[in-house]
Amino acid sequence: MKKQNGLNSYDRRHDITPEEVRKFERFKHYTDEQVANLIDTIKRYTRFIYNVVSKRQKSGKKIALHIDNQLTKAA
């Protein structure tokens, strides 16, 4: 896994901190509220994905990832 700004997402044992968020150029000017909302969104998204994957694994169904087969429509 590529480390960006010294962060390795596969080895994390704790939530991302506001200071870590602001290390990324895109988020360095975020307000405290914006950073808190971003962290909350990341946590909700990862919980959702974890639950989907866990349920699929328990049921024995494969998870289809059709990323390579998606068609892009012209705007």
Q: pLDDT class for 75, splitting at 50, 70, 90?
A: very low
What is the per-residue pLDDT across 26-49, written as a single tens digit (0 to 9) for each? Answer: 999 999 999 999 999 999 998 899
Domain locations along the chain: 14-60
Name the 3-class secondary structure at 8. Answer: coil
Residue 1 scores a pLDDT above 50: no
Q: What is the mean pLDDT of the chain?
A: 78
Dihedral sign for Cα atoms in the order 36, 33, 23, 41 = positive
